Amino acid sequence: MNKIPWSYRFYRWTWNGLDLLFPPVCGGCGRSGSRWCAECRGRVSRIRKPFCEKCGIPTRGSEICEKCKSNPPAYRALRSWAVFDSPVQNALHAIKYRRNIGLADALAADLVEFVRALQWTADLLIPAPLGKARLKERGYNQVGLVARPLAYELGIEYAPNGLRKTRETRSQVGLSAAERQANVAQAYQADPSAVKRKSILLMDDVATTGSTLASCTAALMSAGAAEVQALTIARALAHHGLNRV
């Protein structure tokens, strides 16, 4: 198992020290006192069985959903920790748009047991990358902020440079499923020297139609990856007409 680097331990100590000096605000509800409070943790809507064994979307009992039967995704499986709804939605927006960087480490701690329970094996954990322009504008990859501590806790090598975005794309928000697929088609390239014959845990923040994960997976498999398992923090179910789980 990989040891947590001292650089990251120092990073955590720094945040803990800042929390003592400047009491944080919960990214889920806005209450002061913690970055991710116990009440919000208790309100997280989890995705439970029955769901498609391939893409993880809730079903009425079928092992594989009709979409995956007709057009199987290249990844071995996709699982999401929670429904993209309050308070998780609020937390992810706080990380992504309001620079609540410390919140990412708190969310990663909640994801550890979920991923361990999947009993997946992986050589590398790779976050879905941003384009150069978006990365320069934001200053960080919000997925990487959660993926990095998660990789350390799971004992998996964190490899953010194993996959890169080769062209800028539109925001996926508001696009139809077909538009999303076209928007990210062939937008990623993997490094064969990093991923060849490796089992990859690919991570993104939210899965909606799965288009981004599918495009990333295609790039990884083309570069020689042995297999790809996909993980997201949340799953947007309203897009699928599923408002309750």
Order of strands across the sheet that contains 124-127: 77-83, 227-235, 199-207, 124-127, 157-158
The pLDDT-based confidence of 2 (bands split at 50, 70, 90) is: low
DSSP for 59-78 reads: -SS-SS-HHHHHS--SSSEE
8 Å CB contact between 24 and 35: yes
Q: Which structural domains are found in the chain, ordered by start?
A: 6-240 (3.40.50)
Across the strands, what pairs with 25? Answer: 32
Question: What stretches of the chain adopt beta strand conformation (E)?
Answer: 77-83, 124-127, 157-158, 163-165, 188-190, 199-207, 227-235
The pLDDT-based confidence of 242 (bands split at 50, 70, 90) is: low
Q: What is the pLDDT of residue 63?
A: 84
Distance of alpha carbon 173 from the chain centroid: 16
The answer to whether residue 93 scores a pLDDT higher than 60 is yes
**Percent of the chain topping pLDDT 70:** 91
Q: What is the pLDDT of residue 186?
A: 87
Q: What is the pLDDT of residue 245?
A: 47
Q: What is the pLDDT of residue 182?
A: 86
Looking at per-residue pLDDT, the higher value among 21 and 23 belongs to 23
Least confident among 63-72, 125-134, 175-184, 204-213: 175-184
Q: What is the pLDDT of residues 30-58, one digit of tens each?
A: 999 889 999 999 999 999 999 999 999 99
Q: What is the mean pLDDT of residues 134-154?
A: 94
